[in-house]
């Protein structure tokens, strides 16, 4: 019996030894891995090249920051399709024929496609038929060319804006660049476009005192905003003197008596909104919660020990786990359903407003044919201008209402009301 007991003890002792050895080996491997990851984090980025102050080519920056560059270059993907957006450049005029009449005589009635990714920022601008329909000022290059800050420095802000786009086109070779948002020495976020700097100053905001989280929105607001070309010098200006809501912006334009174009069918003085993502975001719950543009469109990702911002800027619908679920605990299916639901309701309202605007145009044209004078139609044309402006605040914005659902619905309700009022005013004049 003593012999058997001794054997069992020796067996257990052996097992314990082996288990302990394996645990020790595993712990050692874990420590080595941790140390390796720490070393990797400390060493990243490896400074392969010295990035000059005037370096614009993202590929050069990518030698020091390969992971960020590899993700940025994915904005070349033009096959992403979401129910109400994506990067496929489909013809919006063909899909929504009412736009041609709403924008009659405006270059957008000639060529208007869904936007592709940042990779195409410059090429899409150079190739659009809008350039042939109406010659554009150099100010258009402000957000579409990496060379803009250097041209502004050499030409002066006023001269850069008013110089015809065709006269500087040969100097534009790169679209979005790392230099647009980053200081090459420190990689700190920075503003490089005078339009936003001037607009913030007008509102009493010193961006140099902004937090990093605020900068993660400001760098996007350099371009993703409503703007216009002010005066004969075509100065790129943000209409923020009264605030950021649709009413505030409309008041700014009315104060200047500004118009983008005259409607071909009705002779109404019209406004064309660009892409007011920043303004719409500022009225939404994400802004009130301190969520920046980059949190959703450039979410953090882990690669080994590294925590990086994904530079593949795109719809959060394509990476809900990274973009939404760090804050929202619902499933991907639930999150996607919520977004699509908001966008569908917004899209339905957009179509209703477009139909109402076309009815208003028809009514004004009928009144003109019946002999109504310009004085008779002043009110109807003013209402048409308002209907299109409020509709366009949502239509030109890139989230189909998601950035601020209640605000988008409110603004579209006003657009519908103005369009129907314009129609009634025109009918009233026609019956005189």
DSSP H helices in 97-193: 98-102, 121-127, 130-133, 148-155, 157-162, 165-168
Give 398's contacts (C-beta < 8 A, 6+ positions apart): 85, 115, 224, 275, 277
SS3 430: helix
CA distances from 171 to 119, 144, 167, 392 (A): 18, 12, 9, 32
Band of the pLDDT at 178, cuts 50, 70, 90?
A: very high
For 247-299, write each residue's pLDDT tens digit: 999 999 999 999 999 999 999 999 999 999 999 999 999 999 999 999 999 99
Whether residue 159 contacts residue 189, with contact meaning beta carbons closer than 8 Å, is answered with no
pLDDT in tens, 398-413: 999 999 999 999 999 9
Report whether 332 contacts 325 (CB < 8 A).
Answer: yes
Q: Is there a contact between 432 and 369 (Cβ–Cβ < 8 Å)?
A: no
What's residue 34's pLDDT?
Answer: 64
Structure pTM? 0.90
Asked whether 366 and 425 are in contact (CB, 8 A), the reply is: no
Compute the CA torsion angle 46, 48, 54, 57 (nearest 10 deg): -100
**Tens of pLDDT, residues 296-346:** 999 999 888 889 999 999 999 999 999 999 999 999 999 999 999 999 999
Phi/psi zone of residue 304: left (φ > 0), alpha (ψ -120 to 50 degrees), beta? left
Tell me the three state secondary structure of residue 299.
coil
> What distances in angstroms separate CA 418 from CA 78, 359, 390, 396, one per listed residue?
37, 12, 9, 18
d(CA 357, CA 423): 8
pLDDT over 60 at 1, yes or no: no
For 190-240, write each residue's pLDDT tens digit: 999 999 999 999 999 999 999 999 999 999 999 999 999 999 999 999 999
CB atoms within 10 A of CB 332: 14
Could you tell me which residue, 24 or 282, shows the higher pLDDT? 282
Per-residue pLDDT at 432 exceeds 70: no
pLDDT at position 31 is: 73
Cis peptide before 45 (omega within 30 of 0): yes
- Dist CA 319 CA 104 (whole Å): 38
Count other Cβ atoms within 10 Å, centred on residue 333.
9
In 3D, which of 39, 357, 69 has the Cα closest to residue 187? Answer: 69
């Amino acid at each position: 019996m003593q012999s058997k007991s001794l054997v069992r003890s020796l067996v257990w002792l052996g097992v314990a030894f082996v288990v302990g050895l394996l645990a020790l080996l595993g712990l050692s491997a874990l420590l080595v891995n941790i140390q390796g990851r720490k070393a990797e984090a400390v060493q990243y980025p490896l400074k392969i090249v010295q990035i000059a102050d005037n370096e614009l080519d993202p590929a050069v920056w990518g030698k020091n920051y390969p992971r960020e560059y590899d993700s940025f270059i994915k904005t070349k993907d033009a096959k992403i399709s979401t129910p109400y957006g994506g990067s496929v450049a489909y013809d919006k005029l063909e899909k929504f024929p009412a736009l041609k009449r709403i924008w009659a005589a405006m270059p957008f009635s000639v060529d208007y496609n869904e936007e592709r990714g940042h990779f195409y920022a410059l090429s899409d601008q150079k190739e659009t038929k809008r350039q042939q329909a109406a010659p554009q000022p150099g100010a258009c290059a402000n957000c579409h060319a990496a060379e803009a800050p250097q041209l502004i420095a050499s030409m002066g802000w006023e001269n850069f804006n008013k110089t015809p786009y065709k006269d500087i086109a040969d100097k534009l070779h790169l679209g979005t660049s790392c230099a647009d948002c980053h200081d090459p020495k420190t990689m700190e976020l920075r503003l490089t476009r005078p339009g936003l700097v001037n607009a913030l100053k007008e509102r009493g905001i010193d961006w140099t005192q902004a937090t990093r989280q605020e900068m993660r929105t400001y760098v996007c607001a350099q371009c993703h905003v409503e703007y216009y070309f002010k005066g004969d010098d075509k100065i790129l200006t943000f209409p923020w003197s009264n605030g950021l809501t649709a009413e505030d912006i409309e008041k700014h334009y009315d104060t200047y008596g500004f118009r983008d174009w005259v409607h071909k069918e009705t002779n109404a003085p019209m406004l064309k909104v660009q892409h007011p993502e920043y303004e719409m975001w500022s009225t939404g719950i994400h802004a009130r919660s301190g969520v920046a543009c980059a949190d959703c469109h450039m979410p953090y990702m882990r690669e080994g020990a590294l925590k990086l911002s994904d530079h593949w800027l795109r719809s959060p619908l394509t990476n809900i786990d990274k973009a939404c679920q760090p804050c929202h605990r619902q499933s991907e299916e639930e999150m996607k359903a919520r977004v699509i639901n908001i966008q569908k309701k917004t899209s339905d309202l957009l179509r209703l407003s477009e139909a109402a605007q076309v009815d208003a145009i028809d009514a004004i044209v009928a009144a003109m044919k019946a002999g109504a004078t310009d004085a008779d139609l002043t009110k109807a044309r003013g209402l048409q201008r308002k209907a299109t402006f409020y509709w366009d605040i949502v239509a030109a914005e890139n989230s189909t209402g998601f950035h601020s659902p209640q605000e988008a619905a409110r603004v579209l309700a006003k657009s519908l009301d103005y369009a129907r009022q314009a129609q009634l005013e025109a009918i009233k004049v026609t019956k005189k």
